[in-house]
Amino acid sequence: MTDADLIYLKSNVDKLVEIETIDGERLTAKVLWVFDEEDNAEIFYELVSSSKSESYTRQSEAGGYSLRLAKIVSVKPAGG
């Protein structure tokens, strides 16, 4: 992930983005917040769709997921 990707994530809180991870997953997510401290840098998001949806279990209550920023290859606008 580039510095531009991080800036893009931070400027798109409450919006949809498309994320590609190092393991080849492509997911569409609503960004809840971005925590970019050195040791625990991660994004918290609501999952909209994923190319690996079998990796996720359905949640009954409102909740989200987190992903380490180090596992992100790229970020772009959803649907773009």
The token duo for 13 is 């809180």
pLDDT band for 3, please (50, 70, 90 cuts): very high
**pTM, whole model, 2 decimals?**
0.83
Q: Please state which CATH number belongs to domain 3-77.
A: 2.30.30.100
Separation CA 40–CA 33 (nearest Å):
13
Number of other residues whose CB lies within 10 A of the CB of residue 19: 24
Q: What is the pLDDT of residues 18-57, one digit of tens each?
A: 999 999 999 999 999 999 987 889 999 998 888 887 666 5
Sheet of 26-35: strands edge to edge? 65-68, 42-50, 26-35, 16-21, 72-77
